[in-house]
């Protein structure tokens, strides 16, 4: 082996090493999370800002790496062919192709990329500076190739084909995967997903319907008021005039206590605080902001005709984000009671979204948004006890009624 062959061998080894460098750089940098990179920048990790600069122009970065890798591979292949031909003669060309393909695949492509994938942040930060130098050196070639490839790409890809870098579904997927991997727990995952649903809910979706409202008449006697307050578990009570459709104010328990402590005669009209109104189709988030701004914790929901449709409290809104909040005065009523693996008792007022979330079903709202309303929509008449509706492999039946009001439903899954 001559000194010329030794130099050729050194060039081949360096070429395989350079190929490994470019291959691992591409994998490491393209797989580095932009969120993680922001954290690294925030913590002032070395080369993090330079890596961010490279990734900001990802097209230029990838083109530079591909150009560098191809130049290295072509030079290495050419030198290897000369080297093997000098030593083995004519058959050296074939031998060169076989040996170099094997070496480049193992040591120049597959192994470096697997290592870079496993240690992407470490490799990306380590190679950021040499790759930046490569972008400067290869800039003229990359610019020419960029002009050619961009013109070809525009012929096949329209601007309308471009999508957002991060979508809502992407974030939900990240949350789901994080929960599966144990990064966040179920409660945290549920709360994050509730934030997305929060902005889509109308007031009618979370309000307490007028049939379930606790309210007292303005003309109630002292004895009626005290009896009502003993039985009520709420600290704020709507006061109505001629009917429930004429809410004249809100009664606060704290005000009553103050009146009693001061020895004053109870007067509901004097005690009543102004009513805060909201419409059924109002966005929950907008209502939340308005209630915070006006410093109120209870809103009366009215329909399109001005009649009382229900009420919403700040607690109802917060529960949309964090789940049900119970205190020592809340009745221990469960929305869903499991009988066995196939049968359940369900509160008819349970919202369809909550029903679908619990049972992993996909019932769609027709006219009403509760599971009881869904059954009525399917029956298309007033229900009576033992009425049933079958939906796919699920049977919804009326378990209890109070005159015309649904009190309890039974859900049975066929198997």
- pLDDT exceeds 60 at position 331: no
Give the ranges where 105-221 is alpha helix by DSSP (H): 111-118, 120-137, 139-156, 168-180, 186-198, 203-206
pLDDT range class, residue 3, cuts 50, 70, 90 = confident
Please give the average per-residue pLDDT across 51-79, as a whole number: 90
**Could you read off the pLDDT of 233-288 as tens digits, one per residue?**
788 899 998 889 999 999 888 888 888 888 777 788 888 899 999 998 888 889 99
Diameter of the chain by CA atoms? 117
Proportion of the chain above pLDDT 70, given as a percent: 94
The radius of gyration of the chain from alpha carbons, rounded to an integer in Å, stands at: 35
- pLDDT exceeds 80 at position 368: no
What is residue 16's predicted lDDT score, i.e. its pLDDT? Answer: 93
- How many residues comprise the chain? 415
CA separation (Å) from 214 to 27, 228, 333, 335? 63, 9, 17, 19
Report which secondary-structure segment, H or E, holds 262.
none
| Pairing state between β 388-391 and 336-338 | unpaired
Which has the higher per-residue pLDDT, 160 or 402? 402
What is residue 308's predicted lDDT score, i.e. its pLDDT? Answer: 92
What is residue 159's predicted lDDT score, i.e. its pLDDT? Answer: 58
- CB neighbours of residue 206 within 10 Å: 21
Mean pLDDT of the chain: 85
- pLDDT exceeds 90 at position 301: yes
What is residue 318's predicted lDDT score, i.e. its pLDDT? Answer: 86
- State how far the Cα of 36 lies from the Cα of 179, in Å rounded to an integer: 18
Q: Which residues of 122-144 are buried (b: 16+ CB within 10 A; e: fewer)?
A: ebbbbbbeebbebbeebeeebee
Angle at 324 between CA 168 and CA 207, to 5 degrees: 80
Residues in CB range of 249: below 8 A, 6 or more apart:
238, 239, 272, 273, 274, 275
- State how far the Cα of 24 lies from the Cα of 39, in Å rounded to an integer: 22
Residues in CB range of 342: below 8 A, 6 or more apart:
412, 413, 414, 415
Sheet harboring 247-252: ordered strands across? Answer: 216-217, 236-240, 247-252
Helix axes 92-103, 58-88, angle to 10 degrees: 140
- CB of 401 within 8 A of CB of 383? yes
What is residue 324's predicted lDDT score, i.e. its pLDDT? Answer: 65
pLDDT range class, residue 165, cuts 50, 70, 90 = low
- State how far the Cα of 397 lies from the Cα of 386, in Å rounded to an integer: 6
- pLDDT exceeds 60 at position 164: no
- pLDDT exceeds 80 at position 387: yes
Q: What are phi and psi of 19, to 5 degrees?
A: -60, -40
What is residue 102's predicted lDDT score, i.e. its pLDDT? Answer: 92
| Weakest-pLDDT range from 45-49, 74-78, 160-164, 227-231 | 160-164
**Could you read off the pLDDT of 166-186 as tens digits, one per residue?**
677 777 788 888 888 777 887
**Could you read off the pLDDT of 101-143 as tens digits, one per residue?**
999 999 999 999 999 988 988 899 999 999 999 999 998 988 8
Which has the higher per-residue pLDDT, 13 or 159? 13
CB burial of residue 86 (10 Å; 0-12, 13-18, 19+): middle
């Amino acid at each position: 082996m001559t000194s010329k062959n030794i130099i050729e061998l050194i060039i081949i080894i360096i070429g395989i090493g350079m190929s490994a460098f470019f291959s691992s750089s591409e994998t490491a940098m393209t797989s580095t999370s932009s969120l993680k990179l922001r954290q690294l920048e925030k913590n002032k990790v070395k080369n993090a800002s330079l890596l961010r600069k490279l990734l900001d122009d990802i097209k230029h970065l990838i083109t530079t790496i591909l150009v560098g890798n191809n130049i290295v591979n072509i030079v290495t292949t050419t030198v290897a062919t000369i080297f093997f031909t000098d030593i083995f003669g004519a058959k050296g060309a074939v031998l060169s192709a076989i040996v170099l393909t094997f070496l480049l695949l193992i040591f120049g492509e597959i192994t470096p990329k697997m290592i870079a994938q496993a240690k992407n942040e470490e490799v990306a930060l380590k190679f950021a500076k040499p790759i930046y130098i490569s972008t400067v050196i290869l800039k003229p070639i990359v610019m020419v190739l960029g002009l050619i490839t961009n013109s070809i790409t525009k012929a096949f890809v329209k601007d309308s084909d471009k999508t957002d870098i991060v979508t809502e579904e992407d974030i939900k997927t990240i949350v789901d995967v994080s929960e599966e991997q144990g990064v966040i727990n179920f409660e945290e995952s549920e709360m994050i997903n509730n934030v997305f649903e929060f902005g889509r809910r109308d007031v009618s979706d979370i309000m307490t319907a007028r049939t379930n409202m606790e309210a007292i008449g303005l003309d109630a006697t002292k004895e009626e008021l005290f009896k009502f307050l003993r039985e009520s578990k709420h600290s704020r009570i709507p006061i109505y005039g001629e009917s429930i459709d004429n809410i004249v104010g809100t009664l606060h328990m704290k005000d009553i206590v103050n009146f009693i402590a001061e020895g004053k005669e109870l007067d509901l009209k004097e005690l009543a605080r102004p009513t805060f109104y909201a419409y059924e189709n109002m966005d929950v988030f907008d209502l939340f902001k308005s209630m915070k701004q006006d410093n109120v914790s209870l809103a009366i929901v009215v329909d399109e005709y001005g009649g009382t449709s229900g009420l919403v409290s700040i607690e109802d809104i917060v529960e949309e984000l964090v789940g049900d909040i119970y205190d020592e005065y809340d009745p221990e009523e469960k929305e869903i009671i499991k009988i066995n693996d196939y049968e359940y008792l369900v509160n008819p007022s349970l919202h369809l979204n909550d029903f679908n979330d619990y049972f992993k079903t996909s019932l769609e709202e027709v006219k009403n948004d509760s599971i009881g309303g869904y059954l009525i929509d399917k029956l298309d008449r007033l229900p009576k006890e033992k009425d049933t509706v079958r939906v796919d492999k699920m049977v919804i039946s009326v378990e209890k009624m109070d005159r015309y009001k649904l009190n309890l439903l039974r859900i049975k899954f066929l198997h």
